[in-house]
Structure 1
């Protein structure tokens, strides 16, 4: 029996939040984000660092390719290039302001997971999601 697609989220600069698809080149990955593959569900957050408003859409990964590591560099964050086809638009706001109150890192809440993964270290990245966080995000699209 094939494994069902996993869920991920990306926080990146998204110039056109209404586009039908997006391409993201050499994105930093954390929290199992490097395992992203074709067919996986991904939630797209327009980075507030670049003027975005948080969650904008849900999509499906249509291509995923590891970025080769640089030679002679000891510590490198894995990076991946992906393309995403939009499958739904966010209907409610969810961004840094809404997630900021969830900062008890040990409470097990999906909102806290998102705050931790995206905003504790505010760099743009692709992250793997728990089933609870994916379920929470599905209610926003």
Structure 2
């Protein structure tokens, strides 16, 4: 399965990344060791969008807090980088894809990452993962 994470990434050229207690949406809570993950440096934190692809080397679900009715599942992951993005892909490139029903991979990415601007881990469809693979 393929996933994507949008988070604060201080050094996009790093060989390894650790993301602690990240929100998950759209199936992101199922991320596991061995999964492919596309890393987006959050534009709200000074990043430029897609920066790298990697493989999950550790994944741990954060336990839900007792007594809290509505909680977003959170996961901590470690990722080894396998490739750097060869061209830009971020909010600016995806903004035009806002017809939520058109089935395009660009629209899926825009919807999952930028409709709600929070940083998060999301699950990807096969077409979206194939689309992102073309950036490496």
Coarse TM-score class (shorter-chain normalised): over 0.9
| Helix, strand or coil at the partner of 1:111 | helix
Residue of structure 1 equivalent to 2:19: 24
**How do 1:79-90 and structure 2 match up within 5 A?**
79-90=74-85
Q: TM-score, normalised by structure 1?
A: 0.96
**Cα offsets for 1:71-95 (capped at 9, x unmatched):** 1111000000000000000000000
**How do 1:83-102 and structure 2 match up within 5 A?**
83-102=78-97
> Whole-Å Cα distance in 1 between the matches of residues 102 and 134 of structure 2?
21
- Count, aligned residues: 136
**Cα offsets for 1:35-73 (capped at 9, x unmatched):** 000000000000001000000000000000000111111
Any gaps of 5 or more consecutive residues in structure 1?
A: 1-5
Q: TM-score, normalised by structure 2?
A: 0.99
